[in-house]
Amino acid sequence: MKAFVTGGAGFIGSHLVDKLMSRGETVTVYDNFTSGKQEFLEQHMNNDNFSLIEADLLDLDTVKKEIKDHDVVFHIAANPFVRLGETQTRLDLEQGAIATYNILEAMRLNNIKKIVFSSSSVVYAETPDISIPEEYGPTLPISMYGAGKLAAEGLISAFCGTFGFQAWIYRFANVVGIRGTHGVIVDFIDKLNKNPGELEILGDGKQQKPYLHACDVIDGILHGYEHSNEQLNLFNLGCDSNTTVTRIAEMVVEEMGLKNVEFKYTGGKRGWAGDIPRFQLDASKMNKLGWKENYTSDEAVRKAIREILDNL
Ligand code: NAD
């Protein structure tokens, strides 16, 4: 397989690259290093099967040139910061919708037909039932980030319908693990390093979400890719369990060996505008294909905290 991985220098993308390289695949990473880091790819730099292109997905001419001669595109790049949409309203339009259009158009012009896409559970927004299957609809996101993801899914589906593409779309739960550069665990560790006596927690701490370890996500992405062959393969990638934000705070405090930390809640059921306070993804479609997470949500969080602290 000759794989083109957008966002391959990021948290999830670099784990995917590690896995593909360990299987002996040929991999090109296309990344502009806005949130990715070259150090995540250092181990592959001298491998003949590996190439790194530092460029932006918004530069369609470069995407068209570099994507040539690949068999499959893993489109992982995006703005990963959901909250930025509150202040930068064009960001997810460009990094979600336009960047995905550029990838699809470059694929079409180079006759590449297979795309694997990292979407998110945020496309569902708030649902009456908290265990959400893929068929749930209408999907009406409440964040700019969610809108960018849903627009990207729509474009991918349109390129399948119009140009005979084949796609694997994964709606991830929250992903945690080593190389994580953002999200609740990183935020708590940063805050406690600055002030070990007090921790600001966004919302009321009761937000309850499934956390999936990066190693389970990568296994899931490749398992679904290898075991489903519809034209458009849509999967939730989550775990059966979930963890509250206060529980994450307690685990971070324990793992940092701190005592008597005062939790200060900003209040309200959401951490920020567009936050989904409670959800659970129904991953039974992936489970039926033979994939199951190795770590529960609490285990994934605990493991990620240890990994991140060990690498500070
Ligand atoms: P990340 O920020 O670590 O990775 C994103 C990568 O994309 C970075 O390396 C960044 O430099 C690159 N990138 C961004 N814009 C680019 C552009 N215009 N051109 C080229 N490269 C660009 O984030 P992550 O957490 O690894 O997320 C990876 C994907 O998974 C994203 O699409 C994200 O929306 C999705 N996702 C993540 C989570 C999570 O919990 N981390 C949950 C659901 C979905």
At 256 the pLDDT is 98
Please name each of the domains of the chain with its CATH number.
Answer: 2-175+210-237 (3.40.50.720), 177-209+241-278+297-310 (3.90.25.10)
Ligand 1 pocket member 175 (CB < 6 A): yes
**Residue 129 above 90 pLDDT?**
no
Rounded distance between C-alpha atoms, residue 235 and residue 123, angstroms: 13
The 10s digit of each residue's pLDDT in 52-93 is 999 999 999 999 999 999 999 999 999 999 999 999 999 999
What is the pLDDT averaged over residues 252-272?
96
Å from CA of 229 to ligand 1 middle: 25
Residue 19 CB burial class (10 angstroms; 0-12, 13-18, ≥19): middle
The 10s digit of each residue's pLDDT in 160-177 is 999 999 999 999 999 999
**Residue 128 above 90 pLDDT?**
no
At 263 the pLDDT is 98
Percent with pLDDT over 90 in the chain = 95
- Looking at ligand 1, which atom is closest to the CA of residue 95? 18
Rounded distance between C-alpha atoms, residue 306 and residue 290, angstroms: 28
What is the pLDDT averaged over residues 253-272?
95
Å from CA of 257 to ligand 1 middle: 31
The 10s digit of each residue's pLDDT in 198-236 is 999 999 999 999 999 999 999 999 999 999 999 999 999
When pLDDT is cut at 50, 70 and 90, the band that residue 26 belongs to is very high
Torsion-angle region of 151 (φ positive above 0: left; ψ -120 to 50: alpha; else: beta): alpha
Task: Spell out the residues 6+ positions from residue 193 whose beta carbon is closer than 8 angstroms to its own.
Answer: none
Residue-by-residue DSSP string for 237-304: E--S--EEHHHHHHHHHHHTT--SPEEEE--SSSSSTT---B-EE--HHHHHTT---SS-HHHHHHHH
Q: Is 118 helix (H, G, I), strand (E, B) or coil?
A: strand
Ligand 1 pocket member 31 (CB < 6 A): yes
Å from CA of 99 to ligand 1 middle: 12
Across the chain, what does the average pLDDT equal? Answer: 97
**Residue 152 above 90 pLDDT?**
yes
Backbone angles phi, psi at 237, to 5 degrees: -125, 95
What is the pLDDT averaged over residues 99-106?
98
Angle at the Cα of 40 from the Cα atoms of 36 and 41, rounded to 5 degrees: 105
Choose one of 31, 176, 178 to mutate for the ligand 1 pocket test, by most ligand atoms within 8 angstroms of C-beta. Answer: 31
**Residue 130 above 80 pLDDT?**
no
At 221 the pLDDT is 98
**Residue 104 above 80 pLDDT?**
yes
Rounded distance between C-alpha atoms, residue 208 and residue 270, angstroms: 10
Task: Spell out the residues 6+ positions from residue 191 whose beta carbon is closer than 8 angstroms to its own.
Answer: 199, 200
Å from CA of 9 to ligand 1 middle: 9
Residue 211 in contact with residue 243, Cβ under 8 Å?
yes
Rounded distance between C-alpha atoms, residue 154 and residue 135, angstroms: 15
What is the pLDDT averaged over residues 38-61?
98
The 10s digit of each residue's pLDDT in 3-17 is 999 999 999 999 999
Å from CA of 264 to ligand 1 middle: 30
Task: Spell out the residues 6+ positions from residue 214 whose beta carbon is closer than 8 angstroms to its own.
Answer: 11, 12, 15, 175, 176, 177, 178, 179, 180, 304
At 47 the pLDDT is 98
With the C-alpha atoms ordered 71, 101, 78, 82, is the resulting torsion angle positive or negative? negative
**Residue 273 above 90 pLDDT?**
no
**Residue 141 above 80 pLDDT?**
yes
